[in-house]
Amino acid sequence: MDSKKKPVFELTENRTPRRGKSVSGDIHRFLVRLLAPINETLRHKAMYRGDLSEMVVQALESVDLSTVPLVAMKWGQEEFSGMTIQIPAKLRDKLVAASKRRAVSINTLINTALVHWLAGQGEVAIKGKSGQSGR
């Protein structure tokens, strides 16, 4: 592990409003707004592991989108980076359904899945989670 300080993310019960609808197909493209530290971490990992979209798919499949604790998205208070990803239509359908059920944006769910996935790999920390530093 390098000496660089890990980004720390706060979880919340607050909801972020969903945005508009998208079209279906075998592969669906999303323009997502990722928290800047998540974007930087993913791009660093991509230098060694490949496709960013595949990492997003792995993250989304690694969590239960219906129950995973949400990451606090402080729209307008944090830096975000746009990225276009491609995911299978079935996974998009799961995202849309979870987004509607939880009344949160798809961006919130994608960022949440990525934070939990990267935390599981020791790349980032979640505030207040045992065994993780950063307050």
* Domain containing residue 78: CATH number: 1.10.1220
Residue 127: name the closest of 53, 45, 46, 37 by CA: 37
Does residue 132 lie in a domain region? no
d(CA 7, CA 126): 8
pLDDT for 82: 83
Distance CA 11, CA 33 (A): 18
Residue 1 belongs to some domain of the structure:
no
Task: Give the model's pLDDT for residue 92.
Answer: 93
Q: Is residue 98 part of a domain?
A: yes
pLDDT of the residue at 119: 93
Specify if 53 maps to a domain.
yes
Q: What per-residue confidence (pLDDT) applies to 116?
A: 95
Say if residues 98 and 66 touch (Cβ distance below 8 Å).
Answer: yes
Is 40 domain-assigned?
yes
- Domain containing 100 equals 12-18+25-126
Which pLDDT score is estimated for 49? 58
In a domain, 93, yes or no: yes
User: 134's torsion region: left (phi>0), alpha (psi -120 to 50) or beta?
Assistant: left
The pTM for the full model equals: 0.71
pLDDT tens string, the chain, 135 residues long: the values are 456 777 777 776 666 554 444 444 588 787 788 888 888 888 787 775 558 888 899 999 999 999 999 988 777 777 888 888 899 999 999 999 999 999 999 999 999 999 999 999 998 999 877 554 443
Q: Is residue 3 part of a domain?
A: no
Q: Considering its fold, how many domains does the chain have in total?
A: 1
Domain annotation covers residue 5 = no
